[in-house]
Amino acid sequence: MSAELFLELGTEEIPAGFIPRALDDIKRLLGQELAAARISYGEIRTFATPRRLAISIADVAGKQQRQELKLSGPPLRIAFDADGKPTKAAEGFARTNGVSVADLSTIKTEKGEYLFLSKVVEGGKSVEQLMEILPRMIGKIPFKKSMRWKDLDIRFVRPLHWIVATYGGDIIPFTFGDLQSGNLSRGHRFMAPGEFTVRGATDYIAQAEQHYVIPQVEKRRKLIEEQLEVLAKQLGGRINPDEDLLAEVCFLVETPQALAGTIEARFLQLPAELLITIMREHQRYFTLIDEQGQLLPHFITIANTLAKDPTVVVAGNERVLKARLSDAMFFWREDQKSKLETRLESLKKVVYQAKLGTSFE
């Protein structure tokens, strides 16, 4: 019999850039562990949000595959005495492998004849193996930066708060740090923070969405794209293409809501490249352009909650953006007071590299 293996790691907010690699590593490591344990498995699916990393593996065998062992023992010349009776060497080899001397055979090699044993080891229950595999695999997940918390002798990208581990709907019991695995996941931190029971991927997806969490990465990304397109059309433009920003924002939210704000007209005097950089790098805003590719006085932000009053959220974002653009406007005007060539002399004071001279040189 085979069944689904499901694992979810509930964490504090993980940096968006760390998540795609983590999913690949979990998939790779768990696949390697199952193969090493002689446990066959089927399709692998992964799920992720800023607060969770999850994996579902279909058709995981209930037992390990049988293993045929071919074992060489002591040389025949020391395995039996002059009377043909087994020596301690032969008896010890047999005893170690759980058989009698009569069950042993011989094999000829270039180095001579040796005692030989061929035996089949029946596979154990997969759940018993998974109880050891899962905590070991979790501890192996590599991150560019990881951290410790409390007084625990473990590391992870962010503190773990819950672990869901099930096989065929039943809990796979193990501990990692001070956490005991179970079947309880949690919803959106602010909109539905309560727990819900998980048996496998199908009900995980359904229940997570009821708790304002969309765990499927592609579905969440598509929803963001659709919301961006709708708002952009309403504002008479289109989204300035930015695949990297879209990929990042997808891992910043659990339930996305696109909201549009306005850029004050006076800030449009700034170079478009500067405006886009500020909104993209500092605020994670999407910018809009018209048919001629000109920047429009609007931006779209992706919120992580379904706001009861979106105007309040938009006003807050506009206020933050106004402050950033005001600073940019000030420094831009200050820079314009001096021509570029007048700054050339100051490069003599900037060391490029200690042994190579200044930037001017």
For the chain, which residues make up each domain, given as ranges?
A: 2-62+125-210, 67-121, 217-336
| Residue, of 82 and 42, whose pLDDT is higher | 42
- DSSP β-bridge partners for residue 49: 52
Task: State phi, psi for 216 to the nearest 5 degrees.
Answer: -80, 120
Task: State phi, psi for 85 to the nearest 5 degrees.
Answer: -90, 145
Task: State phi, psi for 182 to the nearest 5 degrees.
Answer: -160, -155
Examine the pLDDT at 71 and tell me if it is beyond 90.
Answer: no
pTM: predicted TM-score of the whole model, two decimal places: 0.85
Q: How confident is the model at residue 157 (pLDDT cuts 50, 70, 90)?
A: very high
Inter-residue contact 73 to 117 (CB < 8 Å): yes
- pLDDT, tens digit, for every residue of 105-124? 888 888 888 888 888 878 89
Mean pLDDT of 57-77: 89
Q: How confident is the model at residue 211 (pLDDT cuts 50, 70, 90)?
A: very high
Examine the pLDDT at 332 and tell me if it is beyond 80.
Answer: yes
Task: State phi, psi for 277 to the nearest 5 degrees.
Answer: -60, -45
Examine the pLDDT at 93 and tell me if it is beyond 70.
Answer: yes
**Mean of all residue pLDDT scores within the chain:** 93
Residue 355 CA to residue 357 CA, distance in Å, equals 6
**Residue 253, token pair as written in the block:** 């939210």
Is residue 347 helix, strand or coil? helix
| Residue, of 84 and 205, whose pLDDT is higher | 205
Residue 257 CA to residue 237 CA, distance in Å, equals 19
Fold for the domain defined by 2-62+125-210 = Alpha-Beta Plaits (3.30.70)
Residue 301 CA to residue 256 CA, distance in Å, equals 10
Q: How confident is the model at residue 28 (pLDDT cuts 50, 70, 90)?
A: very high
Q: How confident is the model at residue 191 (pLDDT cuts 50, 70, 90)?
A: very high
**Residue 359, token pair as written in the block:** 């930037």
**Residue 271, token pair as written in the block:** 């170079």
Q: How confident is the model at residue 237 (pLDDT cuts 50, 70, 90)?
A: very high
Neighbours of 344 (CB within 10 A): 11
**Residue 92, token pair as written in the block:** 């010890």
pLDDT of residue 113: 87
Is residue 320 helix, strand or coil? helix
Contacting residues for 89 by C-beta, under 8 A, at least 6 apart: 73, 74, 78, 79
Residue 40 CA to residue 2 CA, distance in Å, equals 9
Examine the pLDDT at 70 and tell me if it is beyond 80.
Answer: yes
Examine the pLDDT at 257 and tell me if it is beyond 90.
Answer: yes
Listed residue (4, 48, 6) closest to 213, CA to CA: 48
Place of tokens 């979106």: 310
Listed residue (305, 288, 211, 308) closest to 252, CA to CA: 305
Q: How confident is the model at residue 58 (pLDDT cuts 50, 70, 90)?
A: very high
- The one-letter amino acid code at 68 reads E
Q: How confident is the model at residue 361 (pLDDT cuts 50, 70, 90)?
A: low
